[in-house]
């Protein structure tokens, strides 16, 4: 537990000591949400959406997932930096389990993603979305599960890579399609049949759908809230299991 806490706190210290990173957690997503949402607002119609729901409100959940997705995954780039600095090698030979190493790194990076997502979540009133306490708790739960699963995905990629440039290239190849085909930009009901199948197989889709339920827009969601949380939990467990397996395979 001490090892997990030490690695977890190290990731948080890295985040809060970097002022540009803290500011960047809030400003770009707000601009991105407002400009893209305003520009596309009159071009999209959402079948099944409740009356009074505009594209800015619909796009809010997609922007929130985008923040969590990119922040959680790219926070694991510290694994490559730690390997270059020799810190990772020192941790690997320390008398602690590989599970502790995985949990410390993954929980730390996932917490950073959750914090940055929370910065944007508190701006919900600006979008015109009425978010009750229960909705806030469901949204926080969905963000936490999504952040944990996506961080595990980033860990698996970063663990086998030595180049930060290569990591960015590989993760962008995964992240952008995962986000675009998650229901963040358009409801799954408007997509052709083959694309709806792809969206249904995308775990990020269930994070977007869970947030849509939390924001009172369940009519445009891909699945029910319990199913969304179940899929996100399974995704998190699967990626964490893969992380532990990779760490134990390390010489």
Q: What's the pLDDT band for 204 if we cut at 50, 70, 90?
A: very high
Number of Cβ within 10 Å of residue 36's Cβ equals: 16
Q: What's the pLDDT band for 93 if we cut at 50, 70, 90?
A: confident
**What does pTM read for this prediction?**
0.86
Residue 113, pLDDT score: 84
Helix axes 164-180, 133-159, angle to 10 degrees: 140
- In the predicted model, is pLDDT for residue 99 greater than 80? yes
Mean of all residue pLDDT scores within the chain: 82
| Higher pLDDT, residue 153 or 44 | 153
Q: What are phi and psi of 45, to 5 degrees?
A: -115, 140
Helix axes 164-180, 55-75, angle to 10 degrees: 150
Q: What torsion do the CA atoms of 22, 26, 27, 33 make, to the nearest 10 degrees?
A: 160
Number of Cβ within 10 Å of residue 108's Cβ equals: 25
Residue 232, pLDDT score: 95
Residue 22, pLDDT score: 65
Average pLDDT over residues 135-143: 91
Provide the number of structural domains found in the chain: 1
Q: Which domain holds residue 28?
A: 2-248
- In the predicted model, is pLDDT for residue 222 greater than 60? yes
pLDDT digits (tens, 9 = 90+) for 148-183: 999 988 888 888 887 777 887 877 787 888 888 888
Average pLDDT over residues 93-117: 83
Residue 169, pLDDT score: 81
pLDDT digits (tens, 9 = 90+) for 3-33: 788 888 887 887 777 776 666 666 777 777 7
Q: What is the 3-state secondary structure (H, E, C) of 77-132?
A: CHHHHHHHHCHHHHHHCCCCCHHHHHHHHHHHHHHHHHHHHHHHHCCHHHHCCCCC
- In the predicted model, is pLDDT for residue 40 greater than 70? no
Residue whose C-alpha is closest to residue 223's, from 244, 204, 243, 240: 204
């Amino acid at each position: 537990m001490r090892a997990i806490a030490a690695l977890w706190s190290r990731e948080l210290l890295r985040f809060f000591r970097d002022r540009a990173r803290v500011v960047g957690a809030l400003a770009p997503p707000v601009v991105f949400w407002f400009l893209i949402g305003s520009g596309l607002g009159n071009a999209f119609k959402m079948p099944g959406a409740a009356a009074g729901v505009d594209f800015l409100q619909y796009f809010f959940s997609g922007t929130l997932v985008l923040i969590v997705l990119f922040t959680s995954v790219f926070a694991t780039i510290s694994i490559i930096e730690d390997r270059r600095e020799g810190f990772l090698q020192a941790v690997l030979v320390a008398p602690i389990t590989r599970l502790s190493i995985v949990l410390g790194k993954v929980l730390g990076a996932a917490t950073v993603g959750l914090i940055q997502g929370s910065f944007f979540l508190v701006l919900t009133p600006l979008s015109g979305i009425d978010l009750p306490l229960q909705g806030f708790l469901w949204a926080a739960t969905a963000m936490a599960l999504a952040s944990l699963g996506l961080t595990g995905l980033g860990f698996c990629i970063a663990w086998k890579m030595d180049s930060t440039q290569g990591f960015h290239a590989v993760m962008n190849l995964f992240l952008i399609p995962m986000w675009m085909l998650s229901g963040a930009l358009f409801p799954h009901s408007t997509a052709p049949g083959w694309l709806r199948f792809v969206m249904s197989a995308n775990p990020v889709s269930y994070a977007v759908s869970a947030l849509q339920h939390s924001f009172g827009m369940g009519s445009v969601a891909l699945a029910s809230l319990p199913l969304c949380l179940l899929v996100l939990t399974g995704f998190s467990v699967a990626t964490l299991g893969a992380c532990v397996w990779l760490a134990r395979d390390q010489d």
